[in-house]
Amino acid sequence: MNTTEMALKRTNLANDRTFLASIRTNAIFAGLSLLLVKNNYPLPAIFILILSIFANIIIIQSYLKNK
């Protein structure tokens, strides 16, 4: 394996790690929205959940484009 192939592999693995970290972060925001609903704050919960869904869509599109 030459250095160019190794660099491409490292870049691919870095993209995978970044993608997974982004998904985990959005999952945390989804959990936060559930806590807000449980504590009778439905409007902020809906707002956070909608933004989280849009962020996930953008992240997934970007990830697939880079593959």
pTM of the model: 0.79
Sign of the torsion formed by the C-alpha atoms of 34, 35, 37 and 38: positive
Helix (H) or strand (E) holding 9: helix 3-38
Residue 33 has pLDDT above 90, yes or no: yes
Residue 27 has pLDDT above 90, yes or no: yes
For position 1, what pLDDT does the model report? 78
d(C-alpha 4, C-alpha 19), whole Å = 23
For position 43, what pLDDT does the model report? 96
